[in-house]
């Protein structure tokens, strides 16, 4: 016979005769237990409950005998068991988590220590390289500083041989060393950057700012009064980007008495709306050359920095880093006599720090160093000047300056600022101040440009 017990949660088999005998003796309050420890009296002290009364037993009940067990709150028991199990599980989990966290912390600490050790080695190596690089740079600069400005064509050739291919930093520092490292400069600026804020000029400007040279090297740009509106807006962008170190001077065209013209309308009143097309040389003279010469003379400039490069082609294809530019023919300073061909009384030095850079190198520097640039370049322009003489190149392979001065044909791609200019030829042009119908007997007035500036305008 199988007895089901809820307390033991297991099944055991007992003979039926034993069950009957035990049931018959229940009234005697005695316990008959063939199997020791299984059945006990129903005394309060006994934890084992008594069997049911024999009167309540029958053969049918004997075949499936059951006995009373203490009532147990299964939910409570299960909850208690579950709680204990949960606590044990949590304990094990917490222990595992603590172990894992400890291992992670140890790994992190080891990783940090390893990184610190590696970084220390890298820093030491960097410092060594920096020291070595700094030492190499200092040696290079010392070598350059020992090389003075040339006084003969042979020396000029040797200097260009040394400067060719050098980083612009060294070229600019060399020029600055020879022209600015003097306690007696006063208000003069022997070294000046002239730029129209094209890509190359912007790279040079950024180098000047990077190496703390803008405090002593002023920047001058020429407003012809005929630029794109984007170019005028870009003036503000440049000034905002470089802020206080930048000393920007913007020249204006000069009228016939060397007074600056402040608007396009004033320019057209003083000359004409088509001067740029009718007399390009005179236009270049009054909008670029004379304003620039006036400013360079005011600053006692000995050298000016340009953004010309060999890769721009044309007359710039054989450009050197350092050039000597004689004063324009017919200018007041061009007649000075001196034995040295490069004396300051005969002309000025012109420095081209990026002479050997390519177009791609220039733009790579601009983009990698977040240098601001004129938004017109994003519209397809590759070289920007006056609005009426600047166009987008028809073919990218034509060269970056192919869109300049297209109205004058392929023979002229220079802006006029970097050509051997004949001031006398430009000044000999007679310019009618204004042709209007005059009353009978009125005098026609024509005027030689230079005489008008000197107050010697004649009436005919």
Q: How far apart are CA 276 and CA 325, in angstroms?
A: 25
**Residue 215 within any structural domain of the chain:** yes
**Residue 306 within any structural domain of the chain:** yes
Q: What is the mean pLDDT of residues 26-47?
A: 48
**Residue 291 within any structural domain of the chain:** yes
pLDDT digits (tens, 9 = 90+) for 250-262: 999 999 888 999 9
Specify which residues 323 forms β-bridges with.
350
Q: What is the mean pLDDT of residues 157-177?
A: 95
Under the banding of pLDDT at 50, 70 and 90, the label for residue 370 is very high
Is 451 a residue whose pLDDT tops 50? no
Is 223 a residue whose pLDDT tops 50? yes
**Residue 69 within any structural domain of the chain:** no
Q: What is the mean pLDDT of residues 444-457?
A: 42
90 and 238 part of one domain: no
198 and 295 part of one domain: yes
Is 121 a residue whose pLDDT tops 50? yes
**Residue 140 within any structural domain of the chain:** no
Residue 347 neighbours by CB under 8 Å, 6+ apart: 324, 325, 326, 327
CATH code, domain carrying 221: 3.40.50.620
- Predicted pLDDT of residue 431: 44
Placement of tokens 């030492």 in the chain: 135
Placement of tokens 């051997």 in the chain: 420
Q: What is the mean pLDDT of residues 274-289?
A: 93
269 and 411 part of one domain: yes
Is 430 a residue whose pLDDT tops 50? no
Under the banding of pLDDT at 50, 70 and 90, the label for residue 53 is very low
CA 38 to chain centre: 91
Mean pLDDT of the chain, nearest integer = 76
174 and 97 part of one domain: no
338 and 421 part of one domain: yes
Which of these three, 32, 63, 94, is where a domain ends?
A: 63
53 and 103 part of one domain: no
Q: How far apart are CA 259 and CA 399, in angstroms?
A: 37
**Residue 142 within any structural domain of the chain:** no
447 touches 256 (CB < 8 A): yes
Q: Any idea which of 98-112, 177-191, 381-395 has the lowest mean pLDDT? A: 177-191
221 and 300 part of one domain: yes
Residues 294, 299, 302: CA angle, nearest 5 degrees: 100
178 touches 149 (CB < 8 A): yes
- Predicted pLDDT of residue 111: 86
238 and 253 part of one domain: yes
Provide the residue range defining the domain that includes 309: 156-426
Is 34 a residue whose pLDDT tops 80? no
**Residue 288 within any structural domain of the chain:** yes
Q: How far apart are CA 300 and CA 191, in angstroms?
A: 9
Q: How far apart are the first and last CA of the chain?
A: 151
3-state secondary structure 78-141: HHHHHHHHHHHHHHHHHHHHHHHHHHHHHHHHHHHHHHHHHHHHHHHHHHHHHHHHHHHHHHHH
- Predicted pLDDT of residue 118: 78
Is 16 a residue whose pLDDT tops 90? no
Under the banding of pLDDT at 50, 70 and 90, the label for residue 432 is very low
Which of these three, 63, 89, 109, is where a domain ends?
A: 63
pLDDT digits (tens, 9 = 90+) for 339-363: 788 988 899 999 999 999 999 999 9
Between the alpha carbon of residue 215 and those of residues 56, 180, 208, 235, 239, the distances in Å are 118, 11, 9, 18, 14
419 and 434 part of one domain: no
40 and 53 part of one domain: yes
Under the banding of pLDDT at 50, 70 and 90, the label for residue 97 is confident
Count of Cβ atoms closer than 10 Å to residue 39 Cβ? 22
| C-alpha torsion 115→118→122→125, nearest 10 | 160
Q: How far apart are CA 424 and CA 328, in angstroms?
A: 9
- Predicted pLDDT of residue 446: 40
Q: What is the mean pLDDT of residues 128-147?
A: 79
Between the alpha carbon of residue 192 and those of residues 263, 302, 354, the distances in Å are 26, 8, 16
Q: What is the mean pLDDT of residues 188-213?
A: 95
Count of structural domains, the chain: 4
Q: How far apart are CA 428 and CA 449, in angstroms?
A: 8
**Residue 135 within any structural domain of the chain:** no
Is 424 a residue whose pLDDT tops 60? no
338 and 240 part of one domain: yes
- Predicted pLDDT of residue 221: 96
Which of these three, 125, 145, 166, is where a domain ends?
A: 125
Under the banding of pLDDT at 50, 70 and 90, the label for residue 279 is very high
Q: What is the mean pLDDT of residues 180-201?
A: 83
249 and 191 part of one domain: yes
Find, among 146, 140, 223, 163, the residue nearest to 350 by Cα: 163
């Amino acid at each position: 016979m199988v007895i089901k017990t809820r307390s033991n949660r297991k099944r055991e088999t007992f003979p039926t005769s034993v069950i009957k005998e035990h049931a018959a003796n229940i009234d005697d309050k005695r316990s008959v237990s063939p199997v020791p420890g299984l059945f006990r009296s129903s005394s309060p002290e006994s934890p084992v409950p008594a069997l049911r009364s024999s009167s309540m037993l029958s053969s049918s009940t004997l075949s499936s005998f059951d006995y009373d067990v203490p009532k147990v709150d299964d939910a409570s028991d299960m909850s208690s068991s579950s709680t204990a199990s949960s606590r044990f599980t949590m304990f094990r989990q917490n222990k595992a988590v603590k172990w894992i966290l400890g291992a992670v912390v140890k790994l992190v600490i080891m990783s940090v220590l390893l990184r610190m050790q590696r970084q220390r080695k890298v820093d030491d190596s960097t410092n060594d390289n920096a020291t070595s690089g700094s030492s190499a740079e200092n040696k290079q600069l010392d070598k350059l500083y020992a090389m003075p400005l040339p006084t003969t064509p042979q020396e000029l050739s040797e200097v260009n041989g040394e400067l060719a291919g050098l980083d612009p930093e060294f070229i600019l520092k060399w020029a600055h060393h020879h022209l600015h490292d003097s306690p007696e400069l006063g208000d003069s600026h022997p070294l000046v950057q002239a730029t129209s804020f094209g890509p190359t000029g912007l790279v040079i400007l950024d180098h000047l700012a990077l190496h703390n040279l803008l405090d002593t090297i002023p920047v001058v740009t020429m407003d012809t009064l005929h630029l794109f509106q984007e170019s005028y807006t870009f003036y503000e962008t440049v000034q905002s980007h470089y802020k206080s170190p930048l000393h920007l001077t913007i020249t204006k065209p000069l009228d016939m008495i060397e007074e600056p013209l402040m608007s396009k309308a004033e320019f057209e009143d003083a000359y004409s709306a088509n001067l740029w097309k009718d007399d390009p040389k005179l236009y270049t003279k009054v909008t670029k050359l004379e304003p620039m010469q006036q400013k360079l003379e005011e600053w006692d400039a000995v050298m000016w920095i340009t953004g010309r490069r060999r890769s721009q082609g044309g007359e710039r294809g054989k450009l050197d880093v350092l050039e000597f530019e004689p004063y324009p023919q017919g200018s007041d300073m061009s007649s000075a006599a001196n034995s040295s061909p490069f004396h300051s009384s005969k002309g000025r030095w012109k420095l081209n720090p990026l002479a050997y850079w390519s177009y791609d190198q220039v733009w790579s520097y601009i983009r990698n160093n977040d240098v601001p640039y004129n938004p017109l370049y994003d519209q397809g322009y590759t070289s920007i000047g006056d609005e009426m003489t600047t166009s987008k190149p028809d073919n990218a392979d034509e060269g970056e300056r192919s869109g300049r001065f297209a109205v004058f044909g392929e023979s002229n791609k220079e802006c006029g600022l970097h050509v051997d200019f004949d001031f006398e030829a430009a000044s000999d042009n007679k310019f009618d101040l204004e042709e209007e119908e005059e009353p009978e007997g009125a005098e026609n007035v024509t005027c030689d440009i230079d005489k008008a500036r000197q107050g010697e305008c004649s009436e005919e």
